[in-house]
Chains A and B, each alone.
Chain A
């Protein structure tokens, strides 16, 4: 399969709820009250609970797994910045686009946005190449 520069990856779209955040906190062992305690979180600069960054990153990783298969698990690289928090009630869309081939890897610009088109995460993901047409 050839992934041309400019190819859009199939997006992953998830509805976030407090229950999903709580479930991730239990599975991931991250009980930071910023994620799970609405009363505590209301007193922070965020004004309410927010999703774990690694939960939202898991949506990006799912998109890369769907696009690249086992190659993503065998040398995939991800470098992102968290720009804004994802909150319960948000619809999070993980999207990506092939931007170049570099060092035997297919490099994609990736990001997550919410339903208001606010940027939550941005960065790059690089995967051992399947062929990339320039």
Chain B
């Protein structure tokens, strides 16, 4: 069972997650977000936000999101287009953590790299969540 996100200390590195952008998953994602623009480009490109979604999955697999967690802000840079079938690795790290009146405010840096170790997406999410778990030392 992964630790609760609110208990993680500043600097905590979540486990990396390797994944393949399978054509089936890409179709499922495009259908879910109803992206009508990506198809006008190279037919093999996936919507750039799909890479962000998978970066977030790395976060969710490495730490349990406490009930009541809220996404406050997001910064993203898309470094290069990503095509269906590519194998990528997502990683996430806690880069800031504050606590006030029972709520945790946390910044999480997310990076997604290709098989050559080159970045395809970088980002930072800001979340707030109730502090409920036992804090990491």
Q: Which residues of A contact B (CB under 8 A)?
A: 12, 14, 20, 23-24, 26-34, 40, 44-45, 52-55, 57-59, 61-63, 65-66, 69-70, 72-82
Contacts and interface: CB of A to CB of B under 8 A. Distances in A.
A84 to B, nearest CB: 11
A34 to B, nearest CB: 7
15 contacts: A20-B32, A23-B32, A30-B57, A32-B65, A53-B71, A54-B53, A57-B49, A57-B52, A62-B47, A65-B38, A70-B42, A73-B48, A77-B76, A79-B74, A79-B75
A27 B53 contact: yes
Interface string B46-76: 0111001110110011000101111111111
Given A14-B34, A23-B32, A28-B57, A78 B47 contact: no
Query: Which one of A45, A58, A74, A80 has the greatest number of beta carbons of chain B within 10 Å?
Result: A58
Contacts of B49: 54, 57-58, 61
B19 to A, nearest CB: 10
Contact of B80 (A55, A73, A80): A73
Contacts of B74: 53-54, 57, 78-80, 82
Interface residues of B, number: 42
Main secondary structure of the interface of A (DSSP, over half): helix
B41 interface: yes
B33 A73 contact: no
Contact of A54 (B34, B56, B65): B56
Nearest to A78: B76
B95 to A, nearest CB: 15
Nearest to B41: A70
Nearest to A30: B60
Contact of B78 (A52, A74, A80): A74
Contact of A82 (B47, B69, B71): B71
Contacts of B48: 61, 65, 72-73, 76
B11 interface: no
Contacts of A44: 67-68
B56 A28 contact: yes
B99 interface: no
Nearest to B65: A32
A72 B65 CA distance: 30
A23 B28 CA distance: 8
Contacts of A57: 49, 52, 74
A105 B64 CA distance: 37
B72 A65 contact: no
